[in-house]
Amino acid sequence: MCTQGEHASAANMMRWYYVYFENSSSNPYLIRRIEELNKTANGNVEAKVVCLFRRRDISGSLNTLADSNARDFEEESKQPSLSEQQKHQLKHRELFLSRQFESLPATHIRGKCNVTLLNETDVLTGYLEKEDYFFYSLVFDPVQKTLLADQGEIRVGSKYQAEIPDKLADGDLDDRVQEKLETKVWDPDNQLKDQQIDQFLVVARAVGTFARALDCSSSIRQPSLHMSAAAASRDITLFHAMDTLQKNEYDLARAMSTLVPQGGPVLCRDEMEEWSASEAMLFEEALEKYGKDFNDIRQDFLPWKSLASVVQFYYMWKTTDRYIQQKRLKAAEADSKLKQVYIPTYTKPNPNQIMAPGNKPGMNGAAGFQKGLSCESCHTAQSPQWYAWGPPNMQCRLCASCWIYWKKYGGLKTPTQLEGATRDAAPRVHMTRQEVQGMSPFTSSAGRAKLLAKNRQTFILQTTKLTRIARRVCQDILQPRRAARRPYASINANAVKAECMIRLPKASKTPVKNRPVVRPTLVTIVKELALQAPLKLKAPRGAPTPINRNQVTQPRAASNLLGKRTFDSVAGLPFAANGRPFTSAMRTTSQSVIKRQKVNQGDAPNPVVFVATKDTRALRKHLTQAEMRRAARKPHVAVRVKLPASLRPLPGSILPSSTNEPIVLED
C-alpha cells in the first residue's frame, strides 16, 4: 500500500484496531473497534466498527451500577488504595462494550488506542500510567439501557486454581475411596482382544443403522441407507458400545443381548440428529451475529434448547461439510476486502483554538476572551496554545495538554463543577461583575431572542405522595438546605425513594405536626392590590412633553422589571424606594402626569446595578436577623421599620405640587 516511509507510517496503518474517531471538534473522541474496511462506489473508505461507550454516554442510574461493580472488583482483587484524583481519572479509562455496529468514514480516524478486558490480576493504577489504555468489564445495551457483566471473563486468580494435596511419603498408602473421586468407564487390561472389540463395534453400528430404519423420524431425516449408516457411525454409537462392554464386564454374549433388548434395538442419537434443519439455520445466523457467545445465542434465537445442547451442537457442527464450506466463503470474502488503509496525520487547525487577531497561535488572550484566565483543569496560566471549552458565556479554556486529555479521555484531570462533579469547596468568590453579568441570558440580544422564543404555555409540576413522604423520612440523605444552596448538584431521587421504602415501615405512626399558615382570602388580596395600585392619569393634550430618559425612564424600567420593595411610612412620613424620605420638591410615581411607557422584555436594558443610599443602609441596621430572613423568603410582604427618634425625618411640607412639569427624581 505504501512504499516510502513504511517504518514511520506503520502506526497509521489501521487493521482491526481500537481507534479514535472524531465526530465533533469540541466533543471528546469516539472509541470504536474496527471490524472490517469497505470501499464505497465513489472511492472512499468506510470502516464497520463496534461502538464502545464512556461513562458520560450512559445515564446516572447506570453510572451508579457501574460504581457498585467497581467497588466489588476492588474488594475482591484487593486493589491498592487510590486518591480521589486517581479515582476520578480512572473513570475516564473505563469503557462499556456494546453489540451496536455502525459505519464511519476512515478519514475521521485520529489515532489508535488499547482496550482490554479487566482482569482480577490487573492493577488499576497501571492504566493511569499508560497513555491511550482503556479497560471494560460490563456490556451496555443502547436499546434496553442495561449494563450486564461480560460473559467472556477470563478466570484467572487464586480462587480458580486447583487445590493440590500433599505428596505421600514413601511407604504411605492412599486411604482415599477411589469410587468417590472418579468413575471408571474403561479398563484397558480386559480379557478381550483388540480384534474382538473391533468386531463388537461393527455390530453396534449395524444395530444403530437397523434402529434408524425402524424409527419413523429418523427415516425422514435420513431417507437413504448411506445417510443412516453415516449417522450410526458417529461417536455417540461407539461410546454407547464401549460403555455396554464395561457394564457387562467385557462379556460379549451379555453385551450383545444388551444392544438388542426385547423391545427392539437401542437407538442412540446425538445433537446433530436431534436438531432440525431450521434450527441449524437459526444457529448459523446467531453464530454470525454473536460469535461464540452461547448464552446470547440461546436466549435470543434458541430459547427451547439447553445451553449444553447448544455447545455440543457447535462442536459437532464444526466437523461437518457445512462448516468447511462457510469457512472457505469467509476466507474468499476476506481476501476481496481491504486489509489495511493508510491514514495521513490530521493537521487541520481546531476551530476551538483561541487566537487574538494579528497574534501568533498560542498567545494569551483572544477576541471575546478575557486575559489572565487560567486553565479550567490544571489551573496553569501559561500554555503554548489555548482552547475554548464549556459554555460560551462562561469563557472557560483549557491548556494544550488538558485539551488533549479532554479529547482522548472525555473529562478533565481534576473534577470541576462544570464537568458535573460536586465538590465540597466553597464557590468561586473572585468572579467579577462582568463575569456574573455574562452568565445572564439577557446579556446579548441573541440570548434575549432565544428566551422570548420559548413556549409560554403554563405547566404545573406536581410531586407524588411518595416524594413528599421521602422528604420527611429521609431528611438526612436528602439534606434539603444543602441542596438549596447547591442547585447545580443533581439529587439521586431513586436512591432516596428506595431508602424511604426501607424506612417507611419502621417510621413512627404519629402524624407530623405542621404549623398552620393563615392565608388571607382572595377578596382581601384583591382589595389590597386595588388600594396599592398607582393612579393612572391621562396626559393633557397638546405638545408632547419631553422626557429625560436618563433621569426618568431608567429608574422606572428597573422598578417595573425587578419590583423593588418599598418601605412603609415611619412616624407618619412616607419613604421612597431608595430609603430617602420624600420632600416637597419630589413627587411619587402615583402622582405622575406623564403616560407610562410599556417596556418590552426583549428590549430590556443590561442588568441594572442598585447602589444603596446612606439612609437605606441605616434602615437595614435596625432590622433583626429574623426580619431579614423573613423579608428574603417573602419579598411580596412590605417591611415595617421602627426607627429611633434620632433618625426620624423632620416633619415638613410633603404636599406635591400640581404643575405639569417633567418629574425629576434626585438621588
- The confidence score (pLDDT) of residue 453 equals 41
Query: So where are the chain's domains?
Result: 18-149, 194-269, 276-336, 375-415, 465-508
Domain 375-415's class?
Answer: alpha beta
The predicted structure's pLDDT at residue 541: 53
pLDDT, averaged per 10 consecutive residues of the chain (667 residues), comes to: 40 63 91 87 87 92 90 86 90 92 90 89 89 92 85 64 83 82 86 90 88 73 72 84 90 88 83 85 89 88 91 89 86 72 78 66 45 80 88 84 93 75 38 44 43 50 81 84 84 82 74 68 83 57 45 41 45 44 44 48 56 81 85 82 62 44 47
Contact 139, 147 (CB under 8 A): yes
Nearest alpha carbon to residue 32 among 119, 93, 107, 95: 95
Correct CATH for 18-149 of 3.30.470.30, 2.30.30.490, 2.30.42.10, 3.90.420.10: 2.30.30.490
Q: For the domain with range 194-269, which CATH number is right: 3.40.190.10, 4.10.1240.50, 3.40.50.300, 2.40.50.100?
A: 4.10.1240.50
Q: What is the DSSP letter of 359?
A: S
DSSP string across 112-131: EEEEEE--TT--HHHHHHST
Nearest Cα neighbor of 19 from 343, 387, 336 is: 343
List Cα–Cα distances, 242 to 214, 229, 237, 424, 657, in angstroms: 23, 19, 9, 74, 125
At residue 10, the pLDDT reads 43
What CATH superfamily classification does 276-336 receive?
Homeodomain-like (1.10.10.60)
**Cα–Cα distance between 285 and 209 in angstroms, integer?**
32
* Cα dist from 200 to 191, 225, 262, 265, 490, whole Å: 14, 21, 19, 15, 76
What sections of 573-633 are H helices per DSSP?
A: 614-621, 625-633
pLDDT of residue 454: 42
Task: Specify the pLDDT at position 169.
Answer: 84
Name the grid cell of 120. Answer: 482480577
Cα separation, 16 vs 18, in Å, equals 7
| Whole-number pLDDT of residue 212 | 80
